[in-house]
A and B are shown apart, each in its own frame.
Chain A
Amino acid sequence: MIVGGCDLGSTTGKAAILIDDQLFCGDIISATTKPALTATLAMDSAIKKAGLKSIADLEAIVGTGYGRLKVPFATDNVSEISCHGRGAFWACATVRTIIDIGGQDCKAISLNDNGGVTQFEMNERCAAGTGRFFQVMAKVLTCGLEGIASTANISANPVSISNQCSVFAESEVITLINEERPLPDIITGINKSVANRVSSLVRRVGVNIDVTLTGGCSKNEGLVKALEKLLGVAFKRLPVDPQSIGAIGAAVIARDKRQVQLAKAASANPQLGG
């Protein structure tokens, strides 16, 4: 069975294909101004990686993410909460708490032993604690997101960023730059500030191990370390690209839906049964 998932987020598009149990992830595509185009580019990349001829080879595709209703080739759409839950559980069945920090939001998801979502929390209308916050800071520090994520910029003497609002925090960072505080100290302080916000959200669903971090920000080791310290647990690193977990989960759900569909068709027409 060949199925796919497409996660159309606010800043990137991701796609994943499952050929039976074998996973192929496409490249992370930067969002264009046309959601359908972003989705197509993402899926084309996954199709190429999977060695398939075209999208017609896929029996079912689930769209997810912020733009899930705009995925033109999706046969169904499912919330990114469910997809992240399913994707992380598929990648690692011991995962019980997922923290996803995306471009515009961050979520904490709690799973039961069957991988079902029991509880979730999302941040409220605020850029602090999201990828957006890092983008703003990366611009101010002129180091790019790679600089913020770099392990070379982890410091033992982080600055303290008092302001909770990202607009004021930006001013605070500019002041720190003007005071010529070392870049690693500032970056570590920024990661700590985000970790504070995010950990608060996580505690609302409860910290049950294993805990894992998904989304683009999972590549920021400084952030991961700060979160691990605050939550008092070592995070489980997933064996797949954590940024594609949503798309992977969507593909897994597409497979489940397709199986149900086939089973229904078989019971309606016994001749179709195997």
Chain B
Amino acid sequence: MRSGIQSPVYDKFAQLAGTLLNPSVEEWKQQGRRVMGYFCLFIPEELFIAAGFLPFRMRGIGSCGTAQADAYFDSKNCYFVRHCFDQALTGQYHFLDGLVVGTGCDHIRRIYDNWQHAPLKTPLLHLLNHPRTMGTPEMQGEPMISYYRAQLARLKERIENEFGVEVTVPRMRKAIKLCNETRRLQRQLYELRKADHPPITAAETALVMLAGTSAPKEQYNNDLRVLLAELVASPGIKRDYKARLMIVGPAIEDPNFYDLIERGGGCVVVDDTCFGARTGSAVVDEMSEDPLRAIAKFHVLDTVFCPKINGAHVQRIKVIADAIQDYRVGGIIGQGYVACDPWGTSYALLGPHLKAAGTPFLRLDREYVSTESGQLQTRIQAFLETVGGQV
């Protein structure tokens, strides 16, 4: 689905989102500069930018299957992880100078082990421990924040030693400001979708967000400002829809999933997903004397959490309640992969909560690539017929 966006920056975003070795990365490498791959939202791009790297959030885009990865992983493992690893095994990630794997879920952390075992010749491979609880309110994030700061400091030191760079405090502050600007601009993009007729489709939004995970921030921010200017002036996409929806769950790399829903009569206005709204949920303290600590605090206390974090559910309920109000959401779709225990359990808590609150909720297990599968379409269509109250 297309909204009719005219600005050529959108095509640029689509191109960045649509391939791994996109033009930005190619140009960066041609300049002799370095790329740092990373898994998971809680890994700070700021650190990589301050070290002169282009941060590249790992994805499986373009993957045709998991035949190679399945020698290392198993059908019990997450599709996203398997597709990403398959891309790595088939040489698609040759451009990486480093990879930082976060101790996210059981599937993602094993990318570190298997990457090492394969072996994939990436100059720097690092496992970054991230706290998986916020603790009690009385603890105020300690000792988790201090621990994460120490982990970040170790990673910083390793990057400095391996690549002969210096990550200074001013550089870190500059990187924080840059990333915060991205977060603010992306939040503005989402704000536009509060309208009765948003000026941009959900799939298009997804492409803009995905582009932000692998493009140099200055250029991306400039391009996003141009796009926002057009969108602000747009009258919106005039179409009938059955319900305004919020999508929740793990990474959606395939914008077709959103198209499937919107072609079926839904209007997806907001989300809580890994490559979506969660990235811009808060900002890092730009004025902190200790930027590493500011980043650590942001990731331990301030951002919206993935359900692997103990305490995430309480936070999620509030995020959803706010979204329902602010975006006038009529129904929630909780999507994910069968192998995902954190999200599966989150939905077991969220489903009854939403039911009690009278908010229609659809739980949807999906494949990595959203093919036009009959079952998926039927579920979505049936849900929209239920939410909209009209078939």
Contact = CB atoms under 8 A, between A and B. Distances in A.
Given A82-B391, A122-B379, A253-B391, A66 B385 contact: no
B380 to A, nearest CB: 9
Contacts of A80: 378, 382
Nearest to A257: B391
Contact of B385 (A105, A117, A124, A125): A117
A117 B365 contact: no
Interface in A54-87: 66, 78-82, 86
B386 interface: yes
A30 interface: no
Nearest to A123: B375
A221 to B, nearest CB: 28
A79 B389 contact: no
Contacts of B386: 81-82, 116-118, 120
Contacts of A257: 391
B382 A81 contact: yes
B375 A117 contact: no
A66 B385 CA distance: 16
A69 B389 CA distance: 21
Q: Which of B338, B378, B379 has the most C-beta atoms of chain A within 10 angstroms of its own C-beta?
A: B378
Contacts, number: 41
Interface in B292-340: 338
Nearest to B367: A125
Interface string A111-153: 0000011101010110000000000000000000000000000
B385 A79 contact: yes
Nearest to B264: A79
A82 to B, nearest CB: 5
Given A116-B389, A124-B338, A253-B391, A66 B382 contact: no
A78 B375 contact: no
B91 interface: no
Interface residues of A, number: 18
A33 B374 CA distance: 17
A50 to B, nearest CB: 23
A253 B382 CA distance: 14
Contacts of B365: 124-125
A10 to B, nearest CB: 8
Given A66-B374, A124-B365, A253-B391, A78 B385 contact: yes
B381 interface: yes
Contacts of B374: 66
A101 B346 CA distance: 29
Contacts of A124: 338, 365
A86 B374 CA distance: 21
A79 B378 contact: yes
Interface in B105-158: none
A166 B365 CA distance: 21
A78 B391 contact: yes
A120 B382 contact: yes
* Most chain A CB neighbours (cut-off 10 Å) among B375, B382, B391: B391
Contact of A122 (B378, B385, B389, B391): B378
A244 to B, nearest CB: 18
A179 B338 CA distance: 37
Contacts of A82: 382, 385-386, 391
A80 B382 CA distance: 8
A128 B173 CA distance: 57
B375 A79 contact: no
Contacts of A256: 391
Contacts of B389: 116
A81 B391 CA distance: 11
A123 to B, nearest CB: 9
Interface in B368-382: 374-375, 378-379, 381-382
Given A118-B386, A122-B375, A79 B381 contact: yes
A125 B378 CA distance: 14
Interface string B353-365: 0000000000001
Contacts of B382: 79-82, 117, 120
Interface of B: 338, 365, 374-375, 378-379, 381-382, 385-386, 389, 391
6 contacts: A66-B378, A81-B382, A86-B391, A116-B386, A118-B386, A120-B382
Given A82-B391, A117-B385, A120-B386, 8 more contacts: A82-B382, A82-B385, A86-B391, A105-B375, A120-B382, A124-B338, A125-B338, A256-B391
In the A-B complex, the 9 residue pairs with the smallest Cβ-Cβ separation, listed nearest first, are A81-B382, A79-B382, A79-B381, A82-B385, A82-B391, A78-B391, A66-B374, A117-B386, A79-B378
